[in-house]
Amino acid sequence: MKSLFLGIDVSTTGSKALLVDEQGTVVASAVSEHSISTPKPLWSEQDPQEWWDASQKSIRQVIKEAGIKGDDIKGIGLTGQMHGLVMMDAAGKVLRPAILWNDQRTGEECEEITRMVGFEKLLALCGNKALTGFTAPKILWVRKHEPEIYAKTAHILLPKDYVRLQLTGDYAVDKADGSGMILFDLKKRTWSKEIIDILEIPESWLPKSFEGSEVTGVVTAKAAELTGLKAGTPVVGGGGDQAAQAVGVGAVTPGIVALTLGTSGVVFATTPSPLIEPQGRLHAFCHSVPGAWHFMGVMLSAAGSLRWYRDTLAPGMNYDDLLAPAADIPAGSEGLLFLPYLTGERTPHPDPLARGAFVGLTIRHTKAHMTRSVIEGVSFGLRDSMELIKNAGLGKIKQVRVSGGGARSPLWRQMLSDVMNSELVTVNTTEGAAFGAALLAGVGVGTWKSVEESCNATIKTLDKTTANPAAVKTYEKVYQQYIALYPALKPSFTGLSEL
């Protein structure tokens, strides 16, 4: 039996277990679902016990599917949804439902953090603005609104690290996920005593931090009995979902950018040093790769914009049939632009009031024009993040590795290549964050000497798309019109939100 590595992805919708061998072949995969609670408007919560129950189920399922024993698994890597808050007492009992990354209740606490720390100091230390998605504002919200819970708290964990605790008995976090709490000193790759002291959060609550491929503990006898794993199996740090996803497509060195074209869109770029975007418009976190960092731009409605368009104006139509006529429309959709801010926006405009729009409609425009303008608008929005990354000091981008549902469209891949004037490739791995977590486990137990070596051994580029010079020239002009629309329409967005 070859050595096998287990990646566990504790996402918002389910816990996924993925078995990978030394060649990068996926041996077995299973997902068990979670439920989400929204007890009040803007709230989003989950019961951490569901994560562990679902993880046990998925682990047992892949072991059964692969026809192996627990001892065939040499290492385990963890990944999952970032920024969630799990509060526990001294005995390890969960005190309240976890507050998730997409919870929006903490607007006042974000303002409070910015006021207490200072915008410039916060940016210099942790590399990010205080946003509602992050963990630190959630801690302050509990202190203000649930003081009895706050008073009992002895430990704070992120979602995947609650599963780690159940597996190993250890309170630990990887540096990529930890830096997403905005309590981290980005340059020092550890907790920022200065921020923690200013916010008056007890340092003893915070778990020890580890690099992504560093062993944090081993599977306990109790966890082995519940999961079918072997007691003593090493568990490595892993990474937040986007950092592990980047490992899973091989975006682990500067110049190789990962572009995820799912419901939301993510542009992820490894940086060799802790670079910070001067206005905080990009997220700047530690990478799962030891000694590396990354920039990340997030677009809230990427392929989600196309899904909305299809469901609203062409219900029941498959995407191939919808997109086919758009291929015959010239680049720029003959003067029709689409703003993809259907659920607000995060990068480069952190504005929950931003709205979607078609601009430039005339009687000559057809459904095919509108279809093309939607995917062009999303492509321009992703270029916004790419421009910020280049201008913040990353330097030359050699290759963009694209994944996600939207990447299956050859038309959309060509368009992205033209809009960004960059080579675009797909890769053989489609399992994303769980695959990256499994590779990190392989590095941690010594199968590969480095994360880069693990990627080179298992990840291959497939389809290559190069930019069309004529389309690049056209899109450069259209993009300039696109970036002028948000500032022009922002007052209208604000006014419309009040109606």
- Among 29, 59, 30, 33, smallest CA distance to 47 is for 33
What is the C-alpha separation between 441 and 425, in angstroms, rounded? 26
Torsion of CA 125, 131, 135, 138, to 10 degrees: 130
| 286 within 8 A of 178, measured Cβ to Cβ | yes
The token pair at 214 is 């560093």
Torsion of CA 412, 415, 416, 418, to 10 degrees: 160
Is residue 241 annotated as a catalytic residue, yes or no? yes
Residue written as tokens 């808050």? 85
| 76 within 8 A of 5, measured Cβ to Cβ | yes
Helices then strands, counting H and E runs in the chain, come out as: 17, 24
The H or E element containing residue 224 is helix 221-227
- Among 106, 2, 3, 1, smallest CA distance to 441 is for 3
- Among 483, 113, 124, smallest CA distance to 279 is for 124
| 68 within 8 A of 17, measured Cβ to Cβ | no
Q: Which is catalytic among the residues 9, 185, 241, 418?
A: 241
Q: In 10 A of CB 366, how many CB atoms?
A: 14
- Among 427, 452, 399, 464, smallest CA distance to 288 is for 452
- Among 212, 214, 236, 232, smallest CA distance to 222 is for 232
Q: Is 480 exposed, middle or buried (0-12, 13-18, 19+ CB in 10 A)?
A: exposed
Beta-carbon contacts of 215 under 8 Å, excluding residues fewer than 6 positions away, are: 234, 235, 236, 444, 445
Buried b (16+ CB within 10 A) or exposed e, 409-437: beebbbbbbbbbbbbbbbbebebbbbbbb
- Among 275, 263, 261, 490, smallest CA distance to 383 is for 261
What stretches of 313-442 adopt beta strand conformation (E)? 337-339, 357-359, 399-403, 424-427
Q: Known catalytic residues?
A: 241
